[in-house]
Structure 1
């Protein structure tokens, strides 16, 4: 985390995580077009929309729980089935993205290692599957730092660009859940949580 700037560290909480990634540089034409983010992989596009849609409907489910518990229970059951189908889609998408890799993640950006170096300021298309809920996100990021590593790879720090609020909130929820999980594990092992 030493490569991330002080302002970024204060603005968002970062976690060590493991996610499946596909990183591609965006050409100048792609940067100007929103269509560049639409992937040829319909499965990944659907997975991304599924998780954003589920996140956006959560407040309605909470309101419904106060009014009609039976209907809410039924809808939760349907939601669980849809989540299971989403996991099937995610595992299909994971086959195309490859194995999860270690990253530092926040709702503001991501730091990862790459075999390819990128210029500071270069825009990237990022496909990411968050574990374990298999939430798929298609994001844009701008490279803020690129450092060569001794093994020939590069450590890339990037900031998300034009991130829709629903996706930002989905990332924030994931970060908070992982943070809580790390704290629970540290307490179980009798170690300080590191915060």
Structure 2
């Protein structure tokens, strides 16, 4: 990349937006940031594969619902009910034990600032999972806490500078922040002068 393009790329990573995202995070020891990011990505990929497999099985099950024999039809309905109960339990467990929150964040390709109920030490390593809702994509980034201050009793503002992010995820963040910024500019333009 030549020098002017590189400077433009560096400037773009600092475009900041305010947006609502699904965010979860975990503190990790110094040498484990990359390993934790890879583990989280594998778990995310397995979840996507499971969703796709479930959709394929559902399509196949639709064909079986047309069976005319009463005993087979009753058996099939019973199995469906049991599977729905099991899926419901798994989903409720996931909701109760998920640390992902939908919240307002300040985001750039270089970092994120968010609110939490627990303080984090400045300099601590952290891995963040960001759900870019409008794009339907997930981004993983590792970084260091650069600021943590109590905004109100029991509410801490945390800022993380990304140091570990793969190129694909950084491109997603750049695209997302530029897209959101252009939406905000268009909305201001559409409102006209006040």
TM-score, scaled to structure 1: 0.62
Structure whose residues are more often strand by fraction: 2
Look up the match of 1:100. Answer: 102
How big is the alpha-carbon RMSD for the aligned residues of Structure 1 and Structure 2? 2.9
Q: Paired residue for 1:117, among 116, 119, 125?
A: 119
Q: Paired residue for 2:150, among 145, 148, 160?
A: 148
Q: Give runs of aligned pairs for residues 70-85 of structure 1, distance below 5 A.
A: none
Shift of 1:144: 0.4
Number of paired residues? 139
Alpha-carbon spacing, 1:30–1:43, altered in 2? closer, same or farther (3 Å): closer
Cα deviation 1:36-82 (Å, max 9, x = unaligned): 2233675523689xxxxxxxxxxxxxxxxxxxxxxxxxxxxxxxxxx
Q: Paired residue for 1:179, among 178, 181, 188?
A: 181
Alpha-carbon spacing, 1:109–1:47, altered in 2? closer, same or farther (3 Å): farther
Return 5+ residue gaps in structure 1 as ranges: 1-7, 49-91
Alpha-carbon spacing, 1:184–1:40, altered in 2? closer, same or farther (3 Å): closer
Alpha-carbon spacing, 1:41–1:174, altered in 2? closer, same or farther (3 Å): closer
Look up the match of 1:39. Answer: 39
In terms of Rg, which structure is larger? 2
Q: Paired residue for 2:14, among 12, 15, 18?
A: 12
Is this contact kept in 1: 2:16–2:177, CA < 8 A? yes
Aligned structure 1 segments of 4 or more residues deviating by more than 3 angstroms = 8-11, 39-43, 45-48, 94-99
Is this contact kept in 2: 1:47–1:135, CA < 8 A? no
Return 5+ residue gaps in structure 2 as ranges: 1-9, 49-90
Once residues 151 and 111 of structure 1 are traced to their aligned partners in structure 2, the CA distance between those partners, rounded to angstroms, is 18
TM-score, scaled to structure 2: 0.62
Cα deviation 1:73-105 (Å, max 9, x = unaligned): xxxxxxxxxxxxxxxxxxx9x954544200000
Shift of 1:137: 1.1
